[in-house]
Amino acid sequence: MTEPGPTGDTAPLTHEQEWYLANVRRSSRTRRNVRFSQRILGPLDPELFEEAVRLFTVRHDALRMALLPGADAGPAAAQRVLPVRPDDRPVHGECVTAASERQFSHYASAVLSRDVITPLTGAGRPFTLRLLRHDAGHHAFLATFDNLFFDGRAHELFGREVWRDYAALRDTGSAPAADAPSFARAARRQREGRSPRRLERTRDSWHRRLEFAGRHRWRELDGVRPTADGSIHADIPASVVGALREHCRQARCTVLHWIVGSFVRALAEHAGQRRVSLWTSVDSRRSDEREVVGMFAGAAPLAVGAPGAALPEVVAEVGHAMVDALRHQHLPARELAELLENPPGSADGPLIRDVYVNLRSFAGAYRPVHAPGDGLRITADAYPLRRITFVESAALHLRCDEYRDAVLVELVFDGRRIGEPLARAIVDRIVGDAAAVRHPPASSGKALP
């Protein structure tokens, strides 16, 4: 039996939580929760699985956090850890009568879609967890989490730890150790030690990057034939990813940095962008807090001054820009809002995130996972949302997920400003650059003309 973690602890909001709440107050858009879904084929033991999920919610206090009254007024002592409720069963089980596997999948997608837009803050826990049963060998696991307490890194930790604990319960009959780093303590540490000098350096960095963004907004293109809004998908397969990962190891960069570098260079080549300001999500966890579940992800602007240089140079510039953003991420929400409404050196009004990059890295495989010893096959992101449309303010939004055996690329585009042919050319360039790592071209590697 896992011992409950510390309860009653109060903690300040992280900078990212404070900024998230500030955005929610200003925005009239529908909030959406973080989603997680898996198709599970094979002889699943539902009771063991539900226990593995329960252990995760007990172990990680972020999933037992609640906002205190007046949390919107400021970060100090704005949330506390709720106790573990006796006999708490966080997973809702449901047997679904469906005429076919396709009908079952449609139902799972509809339920997940509803949960994604259902508010989770309030008296209840900040998550909804469902295990749907089609038959003994076919289940759907659907999870949604309030984004105030759960980010992309937490998403990866959840999937990894739940199946680790399931295997331990199945094989040994006992739960793994209950130790897990506390979100409440990490939030307090984040707010401590913020010296005036460091805050001033952070202000200087934000001013510099936002001034660049104000001067180098998206340059509207001549001759673009408008199309419907849409997205272009591409998968970079395992054979290419393996070579790319080795190339990045030697070049001392990450695969995701390399993908962004290729993307930025494609903007110079195909869209004529001489300078590129883009936004990305930055995870501000310390190196010793990588296993903390909570909300530490926030948007940050990156400045790329030479997107048309040789690809290794562009990748290096992107990497340096990301490190700078990570080191100088935390500003008070009110100050940050003022900077975005009135960017330094710009008279063109509030900044719009014309180019946005969303990056996620997962330690596991994308293809169906065969759990050792029991024949389970687990497929991630198996249930797409239905009848839900999210408004994009960006001209281009690159989404990139790195798995052990694949890199998934999706480019969402504004049809009026970009058009499908240009978006497709940009994605084709990224895929072509990745494939060329296996057989480097005999070019001189000079910058684009």
Tell me the pLDDT tens digit for each residue of 280-326.
999 999 888 989 999 999 999 999 999 999 999 999 999 999 999 99
Tell me the pLDDT tens digit for each residue of 15-30.
999 998 888 877 755 6
Q: What is the pLDDT of residue 4?
A: 39
Its pTM stands at: 0.85
If one compares 449 and 202, the residue with the highest pLDDT of the two is 202
Neighbours of 240 (CB within 10 A): 18
Res. 228: pLDDT tops 50: yes
333 and 241 assigned to the same domain = yes
260 and 223 assigned to the same domain = yes
Q: What percent of the chain has pLDDT over 90?
A: 58
Among the listed ranges 87-101, 117-131, 253-267, 307-321, which one has the minimum average pLDDT value? 117-131
Q: Where among 165, 189, 213 does a domain terminate? A: 189
The answer to whether 307 and 267 are in contact (CB under 8 A) is yes
291 and 412 assigned to the same domain = yes
Domain for residue 418, yes or no? Answer: yes
243 and 120 assigned to the same domain = no
199 and 158 assigned to the same domain = no
Neighbours of 195 (CB within 10 A): 8
The answer to whether 435 and 240 are in contact (CB under 8 A) is yes
Band of pLDDT at residue 1, cut at 50, 70 and 90: very low
The answer to whether 396 and 355 are in contact (CB under 8 A) is yes
98 and 226 assigned to the same domain = no
Torsion of CA 14, 18, 19, 25, to 10 degrees: 160
Domain for residue 101, yes or no? Answer: yes
Q: Where among 189, 206, 234 does a domain terminate? A: 189
Domain for residue 446, yes or no? Answer: no
213 and 265 assigned to the same domain = yes
Q: What is the pLDDT of residue 8?
A: 63
Distance CA 169, CA 60 (A): 18
If one compares 3 and 394, the residue with the highest pLDDT of the two is 394
Distance CA 20, CA 16 (A): 6
200 and 169 assigned to the same domain = no
Band of pLDDT at residue 364, cut at 50, 70 and 90: confident
The CATH number of whichever domain residue 48 belongs to comes to: 3.30.559.10
53 and 32 assigned to the same domain = yes
Most distant CA pair in the chain, distance: 67
Res. 101: pLDDT tops 60: yes
Task: Give the count of domains, the chain.
Answer: 2
The answer to whether 383 and 110 are in contact (CB under 8 A) is no
H or E segment at 402?
strand 396-402
Q: What is the pLDDT of residue 99?
A: 95
Domain for residue 208, yes or no? Answer: yes
Q: What is the pLDDT of residue 443?
A: 47
The CATH number of whichever domain residue 248 belongs to comes to: 3.30.559.30
Q: Which long-range contacts (CB under 8 A, 24 or more apart) does 412-415 make?
A: 412/229, 412/230, 412/231, 413/229, 413/230, 413/231, 413/232, 414/229, 415/226, 415/227, 415/228, 415/229, 415/230
Distance CA 416, CA 229 (A): 7
CB neighbour list of residue 204: distance below 8 Å, 6 or more residues apart: 328
Domain for residue 283, yes or no? Answer: yes
Domain for residue 416, yes or no? Answer: yes
Find the domain containing 406 and state its range. Answer: 195-354+394-436
Query: Where are the alpha helices (H) located in 43-151, listed in sequence order?
Result: 46-59, 101-116
If one compares 64 and 392, the residue with the highest pLDDT of the two is 64
Q: What is the pLDDT of residue 3?
A: 36
Q: What is the pLDDT of residue 352?
A: 82
CB neighbour list of residue 425: distance below 8 Å, 6 or more residues apart: 266, 270
**How distant, in Å, are the alpha carbons of 11, 25, 284 from that of 78?**
6, 16, 20
211 and 132 assigned to the same domain = no
Res. 2: pLDDT tops 80: no
If one compares 215 and 28, the residue with the highest pLDDT of the two is 215
Q: What is the pLDDT of residue 412?
A: 94
Q: Where among 160, 189, 218 does a domain terminate? A: 189
Q: What percent of the chain has pLDDT over 70?
A: 89
Domain for residue 369, yes or no? Answer: no
134 and 254 assigned to the same domain = no
Q: What is the pLDDT of residue 321?
A: 95
Provide mean pLDDT across the span 163-173: 91
Domain for residue 448, yes or no? Answer: no
Q: What is the pLDDT of residue 95?
A: 96
Tell me the pLDDT tens digit for each residue of 103-157.
999 999 999 999 999 988 655 789 999 999 999 999 999 999 999 999 888 888 8
Distance CA 279, CA 301 (A): 4
Residue the block writes with tokens 């593995």: 52
Among the listed ranges 68-77, 297-306, 423-432, which one has the minimum average pLDDT value? 68-77
Res. 211: pLDDT tops 90: yes
128 and 221 assigned to the same domain = no
